[in-house]
């Protein structure tokens, strides 16, 4: 499976280890949601601008539709999800 074999290792490689993965079996919400814990905004900006991130997203697009990204500042620790 792409998520386990390519996406997750690729995210770790670029400094975005998955924090949580949610799968929704029913309802009008995203079916799969991956939460990435990033220590600071500079790291996040570097990763999102990287060629490797673009490659991972391109490969992911072969398997999904209606892809969305959202950045949320975490409460308390100053990190980003």
Alpha helices of 1-81 — where are they, by DSSP H? Answer: 2, 8-13, 41-48, 51-60
- pLDDT at residue number 76: 64
More confident residue, 29 or 68: 68
pTM above 0.85, yes or no: no
Q: Which two tokens stand for residue 74?
A: 């975490």
More confident residue, 58 or 71: 58
Residue 81 pLDDT exceeds 70: no
């Amino acid at each position: 499976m792409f998520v386990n074999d390519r996406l997750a290792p690729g995210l770790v490689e670029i400094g975005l280890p998955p924090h949580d993965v949610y799968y929704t079996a029913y309802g009008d919400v995203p079916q799969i949601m991956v939460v990435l814990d990033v220590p600071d905004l500079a790291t996040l900006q570097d990763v999102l601008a990287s060629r490797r991130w673009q490659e991972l997203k391109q490969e992911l697009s072969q398997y999904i539709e209606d892809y969305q990204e959202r950045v949320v500042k975490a409460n308390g620790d100053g990190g980003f999800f």
